Structure 1
Amino acid sequence: MISNQNVPVDTTPDTPQSTSAAARLKLKEKVDRAPKAELHIHIEGSLEPELIFSLAERNGITLPYSSVESLQAAYAFTSLQSFLDIYYAGASVLIHEEDFYDMTCAYVDQALDNGIIHSEIFFDPQTHTVRGVSMETMLAGIERGLAEGEKRGLSSRLILCFLRHLSEEDALRTFNQALPYFEQYAHRLIGIGLDSSELGHPPAKFARVFSQALGRKMRLVAHAGEEGPVSYIYEALDILRVERIDHGVRCLEDPQLVERLAQSRIALTVCPLSNLKLCVFDSLSDHNLKTLLEKGVAVTVNSDDPAYFGGHVNQNYRALIDALDLTEQQCYTLLRNSLEASFISDDKRQAMYRQLDHFWFS
């Protein structure tokens, strides 16, 4: 659980007068440059269409799309599953270490452009091992890209995610295959998560593998409460023992759960543009992020799968500032929350707080 000492929480009610367009623009530009962390990014979901086609050509893979434009036109998702079908097709171009390296380097460039100083990145080994790509191949490429990013100022960690539409037995096999790499890349590979199709695949389905990871003192997260019910959030907290909830936006349906999250400072890694694209909310002005923030929940802003959902972290902040008329204090709280919820040492967190404060208040 994350400490809640000395963490400013914005509980100020909405101001009656909305921010002017000029003030919003100034705030967006400030947030663009602000030091921040990203805690919910699927590296395979950062693959832009142009890179997908480039890797497909390099690896002799024929895609079910005739052009970059036809692939982009298919991004009219109606649900999480309709997105995942295209997501897995895009990931099929990743074959060799160099492919994973190129994908990671492209994300590093975007992260640095977005002011990200720390990123905790999901990857889905089962998406690749089923195609005969080894864990060693994918991790070697990703690690090489992130090591170069480290030299350029991007601190990063990796979280191995299990595909929840597959069996727990498959997850356990994947976990056991990955154990040597948790040792080899101990500086980078720090924990496990749970993603893919949520409905019909409750967190409790993966109790054994999360228990094994907990026994090895790994960091634990899980997607819950995006399309799935509030009960999935409770299962993630009480059965899987996770330290962060990925998405979690349906928690507002249960006031006791909201109070629990606020008191414990268990963060939600919210992805607004993703929620909009996947029809979790009808419009961004309907999003409940601001309400959660005002209730003291440790909400963070993230991009999820930026190549598919319309933008990286800064585009998410910009869209929220417009749609929800966020204040400067609320934006600062979101930025600080992202650092608070990161799986880093207290010393490193304090240094990042100082970096943010120096930028924000100077």
Structure 2
Amino acid sequence: MKEFICGLPKVELHLHIEGSLEPELMFELAKRNQVAIPYNTPQEVRDAYEFHNLQSFLDIYYQGANVLIHEQDFFDLTWAYLLRCREDNVLHTEIFFDPQTHTSRGIEFDTVISGIHGALVQAQHELGITSQLIMCFLRHLDEASAFETLEQALPHKDKIIAVGLDSSEQGHPPQKFENVFQKALTEGFLTVAHAGEEGPAQNIDDALALLGTARIDHGVRCVEDEALVERLIEDKVPLTVCPLSNTKLKVFEDMGQHNVVDLLRRGVCVTLNSDDPAYFGGYMNANFLAVVKAHPMSKEEVAQFTLNAIEASFISESEKLRLQKETLIYLAQ
């Protein structure tokens, strides 16, 4: 099964590029940019990655982002992640970025997106990995800040496929961002939102109804509302689930308690993703392996995660057919 998973074509739909900042690169960039960080070695950074909830992770996550200053830094960060995609046979990835994390520090929006986009273009040419970029609003900030960020994004519409909503879910329901999401939809962006991770199932309902989301990021607490689960199945609403993240942040105590396989078997369009892999202990292969280790599955079921992700992705129908065909050929072999 391990060999099967390593060779399986994959599509990742839930990846925060700032969350792929490995400690070694953090140190390299801190030195390059003469930024002080409160750790002496990469191992000290890793030792700090013992989280008891989402906020305890976010505190370190935002601190780590301080080393990202120049366009080259954002390029290097993204390129390092794309090389991991190649290792894990990820053929297509849809990447989140958090401009407010950087613009609040005085970094220009253009600097951030130019570095990330440059790496994505190079990866398509050199690695054959296709990608889309999703701009997230930080939900712990106010809607006015989100509107400002949306305005900054408008000249870059050709580079951004969708807008999303991330950061602390508790106390920041979808309603808070209804107006900015409506504006984003009128500007032609697709929308996604983190919901039902630490927050209740109601947040999933509200994200779909008020934010017009094409898919839900996380969504594992949907099981608290049976009618919602039935609707997710009927309407084929994708959930971008992040198993290692969920256990690391204590959404589930251990992988044996995780509900992603149950949801898959019920017919929910669940996908596997790595979220913030530098902080949560694994990229795509590691997430697949962790799930299968805790929940014995057939190869057909494992491949269904990829087929679901292809269907849920923001690529053309012809690209979807190409990736589906590649996955089915691999499964048949």
Aligned to 1:146: 120
Shift, 1:35, TM fit: 1.1
Question: Which residue does the alignment assign to 2:68?
Answer: 94
Q: Shift of the alpha carbon at 1:181? A: 1.3
Q: Distance in 2 between matches of 1:200 and 1:90?
A: 24
Shift of residue 33, structure 1, vs aligned partner = 1.2
1:170 is matched with 145
What is the aligned partner in structure 2 of residue 309 from structure 1?
Answer: 280
Question: Which residue, out of 250, 253, 262, partners 1:291?
Answer: 262
Name the counterpart of 2:155: 180
Mapped contact 1:244–1:268 kept (Cα < 8 A):
yes
Give the 3-state SS of the residue equivalent to 1:189 in structure 2.
coil
Q: Compare 65-74 and 244-253 and name the one that shifted more.
A: 65-74
Worse-matched range after superposition: 335-344 or 297-306: 335-344
Matches for 1:253-332 after TM superposition, within 5 Å: 253-332=224-303
Q: Aligned partners of 2:298 and 2:217: how far apart in 1?
A: 24
* Native 8 Å contact 1:301 1:317 kept in 2: yes
Q: Compute the displacement of 1:216 (Å).
A: 2.0
Q: Does 1:62 align with 2:36?
A: yes
**What root-mean-square deviation, in Å, do the aligned CA atoms of Structure 1 and Structure 2 show?**
0.7
Contact between 2:233 and 2:267, CA under 8 Å: does it hold in 1? yes
Aligned to 1:157: 132
> Which structure's relative contact order is higher, taking Cα pairs within 8 Å and 6+ residues apart?
1
TM-score, normalising length from structure 2?
Answer: 0.99
Aligned residues: 332
- Which amino acid in structure 2 is aligned with residue 232 of structure 1? N
Aligned residue for 2:47? 73
Q: Give the CA deviation at 1:279.
A: 0.3
Check the 8 A contact 1:274/1:309 in 2, yes or no. Answer: yes
Runs of 4+ in 1 over 3 A off after TM superposition: none
Q: What's 1:224 paired with?
A: 195
Partner in structure 1 of residue 77 of structure 2: 103
| Structure 1 position 217, deviation (Å) | 2.4
Secondary structure at the counterpart of residue 211 of structure 2: coil
Letter in 1 for 2:215: R
Alpha-carbon contact 1:274-1:305 (below 8 Å) kept: yes
Distance 1:344 1:243 in 2: 13
SS at match of 1:325: coil
What TM-score, normalized by structure 1, do the two folds share? 0.91
Q: CA deviation at 1:28?
A: 2.1
